Amino acid sequence: MRVTKDETKSFISTGVMRDYQVEGLNWIVRLYHRGLNGILADEMGLGKTLQTISMLGYLNVYKNISGPHLVVVPKSTLGNWMNEFKRWYPQLRVLKFYGSKDERALIRERDLQYGKFDVVATSYEVVIREKACLSKFSWEYLVIDEAHRIKNENSTLSQIVRIYNTKCRLLITGTPLQNNLHELWALLNFLLPDVFSDSTLFETFTNAVGDEKQEIINQLHKVLKPFILRRLKAEVERGIPDKKELTVYCKMTRSQKVTYQAVLKNNVEVLNARKGERTKLLNIVMQLRKACNHPYLFDGVEDKTLDPFGEHLVEQSGKLSLLDKLLPRLQSQGSRVLIFSQMTRLLDILEDYCTMRQHLYCRIDGQTNGDVRDQMIEDYNAPGSKHFIFLLSTRAGGLGINLTSADIVVLYDSDWNPQMDLQAQDRAHRIGQTKDVKVFRLITESTIGT
């Protein structure tokens, strides 16, 4: 059966699905009717959550199957999934299974019973801790968001979700598995263990060269095509405004140079060693990155006798000095800004800066409580919101967040994994954005630490 765009209105309560989203729904429907599982791997910002919810709505309306379904997501995106269910198909009874040990015990006793829910939405951590009760259910659909988290078939999460009794499985990921074919095989083995029981074909690719390598690539494309759907924004979504990235090179301040050189001098033996230990070298690079961001990331550098909100906070860092000049211009033109950093201590400094300059801001990092996180996003996106800046840690802030009310993204420091930076940018450059998005990538010139 093929679902038309008009027919989706019977199970999508708000808005209209885009043509490519309807195609995605039909792809999932075809897998379902063939008894197959798959990976929805559309580029970030194309509405994978909506396509997934529409599938559960399709089962409810056309197959009279309301569940039970199990949706497993990072804890940071759990609130967003609950909001999306409420927005797109509120007819489904979605149970949020999360909280402390005592809170989960109450949910188990009161709500986690057949007939009392249609969908259980929970986190990776809870699906592991509560395997005793969750494994008792026969799940109609198992959905795993950010599914690259189970790319290691020996990880605890991967092992636990394999024991659940499920009729269908759908993995969602907007982050490509960067040329690691064994990780791709691990996901396919989870979805289709009978088809992908042996990783030999994938492993032979690594050693292949020339025409042999091209032939294996062609074989892989044919084998994988039925099980993976991957679309890019440039291919299917013409309505999203342009995104332009500008690399901005910053000079070091005197304090940064002193700190940078001290890191190098204190580790000269490791740097000169022919076979330096990888861990030590990586640690040195991280220390150099701290020096490039702000010297106050090192204990003892800041003069505690000075006003903590004094101008020295800006003057001691080349990046922050440049940002201090850039932000007023952006604010005067009506822009709103997302600032990403890998370092939560750097976010602390940026909080002091925002207080000092009287910029209203929100903040999310890996320690932010889920309810607080959801409230921050709601406050920032609220009509007429006065919040100018949103501070986010690159990895914790990159998932499940829609911040299209911002049109400027500042990458204060770059992630070693370029996909993390792309994911961060797509918090603003996604469906719903009405302005061109500008990305400023701050780089400290002539350094290894960016």
Locate the domains of the chain by residue range. Answer: 7-236, 243-444
pLDDT range class, residue 214, cuts 50, 70, 90: low
Q: Which of 116-120, 214-218, 376-380 has the highest mean pLDDT?
A: 116-120
Question: Could you check whether 7-236 and 243-444 share the same CATH topology?
Answer: yes
Structure tokens at 43: 């580029």
**Inter-CA distances, 282 with 93, 287, 346, 381, 413, Å:** 48, 9, 19, 38, 16
- Sign, CA dihedral 285-288-290-292, equals negative
379-392, pLDDT tens digit by residue? 999 888 999 999 99
Structure tokens at 270: 């490791």
Contacts of 195 (CB under 8 A, 6+ apart): 188
Q: In CATH, which of 3.90.550.10, 3.30.420.40, 3.40.50.720, 3.40.50.10810 is domain 7-236? A: 3.40.50.10810
Would the pLDDT of 270 be above 70?
no
- Sign, CA dihedral 112-117-118-122, equals negative
- Which position has the token pair 């860092």? 317
Structure tokens at 299: 């204990």
Contacts of 115 (CB under 8 A, 6+ apart): none
CATH topology of domain 243-444: Rossmann fold (3.40.50)
Would the pLDDT of 18 be above 80?
yes
Nearest alpha-carbon partner for 321 in 412, 234, 383: 412
pLDDT range class, residue 205, cuts 50, 70, 90: low
Nearest alpha-carbon partner for 329 in 445, 442, 440, 441: 440
Q: What is the mean pLDDT of residues 151-172?
A: 84
The torsion defined by the Cα of 337, 231, 209 and 206, in degrees rounded to 10, comes to 70
- The Cα 30–Cα 168 span in angstroms is 12
23-67, pLDDT tens digit by residue? 999 999 999 998 889 889 888 778 899 999 999 999 999 998 888
Burial class (CB in 10 A: 0-12, 13-18, 19+), 250: buried
Would the pLDDT of 291 be above 80?
yes
Q: What is the mean pLDDT of residues 156-163?
A: 85
Q: Which of 101-110, 218-227, 417-426 has the highest mean pLDDT?
A: 101-110
Instruction: With beta carbons less than 8 A apart as the criterion, state whether 217 and 210 touch.
Output: no
Residue 446: CA count within 13 A, CB half-sphere:
8
State how beta strands 243-250 and 437-444 pair: parallel
Phi-psi region of 99 (alpha: psi -120 to 50; beta: other; left: phi over 0): left
Note the Cα 80 to chain centre separation in Å. Answer: 12
pLDDT range class, residue 140, cuts 50, 70, 90: very high
For the beta sheet containing 408-411, the strands, ordered from the edge strand earlier in sequence to the opposite edge, are 243-250, 437-444, 408-411, 337-341, 389-393, 361-364
Q: How much of the chain exceeds pLDDT 70, in percent? A: 89
- Residue-wise over 89-99: b if at least 16 C-beta within 10 A, else e? beebebbbbbe
